[in-house]
Amino acid sequence: MANLVGQVGCVTGLVAILIIGVAFFVGQALDNYFGTSGVFTIIFMLGSFPVTLWAMVRMSLHMVAKAQERMAQFEEDQKRKNSTQEEEQAHT
């Protein structure tokens, strides 16, 4: 489980950096194009925070759901393995 938490933290951190970085550079480019003094950069940076939070929550929920599916599959495989071993012991 600790491995999953580390993966979620790394992935969501990288996504946050990517979204905020894109917002900054797009804002800078628009400011340079229109000759404004940081208006677009501020707007895009403020707009990037809710987008980043949404992306982080969605990715976290997706990764946790995937981990739960893997755990359920692992438990099912263990049950099958145990029942097969019990049947083999019963026949001997």
Q: What is the pLDDT along the chain (92 residues), one digit of tens a residue?
A: 667 777 888 888 899 999 999 999 999 999 999 999 999 999 999 999 999 999 999 998 998 898 899 899 999 999 998 888 877 787 76
Is residue 49 assigned to a domain? yes
| Structural domain boundaries enclosing 57 | 2-86
Tell which residue, 65, 50, 61, has the closest CA to residue 16: 50
Going by C-alpha positions, the residue among 22, 2, 23, 5 that lies closest to residue 63 is 5
Residue 91 lies in a domain: no
Q: Is residue 50 part of a domain?
A: yes
Rounded to whole angstroms, the Cα distance separating 63 from 5 reads 9
The predicted pLDDT at position 87 comes to: 78
Length of the chain equals 92
Q: How many domains does the chain have?
A: 1
Flag whether 43 is in a domain.
yes
In a domain, 21, yes or no: yes
| Whole-angstrom distance, CA of residue 56 vs CA of residue 13 | 8
Position 14 scores a pLDDT of 92
Residues with Cβ within 8 Å of 36's Cβ and at least 6 positions away in sequence, in order, are 30
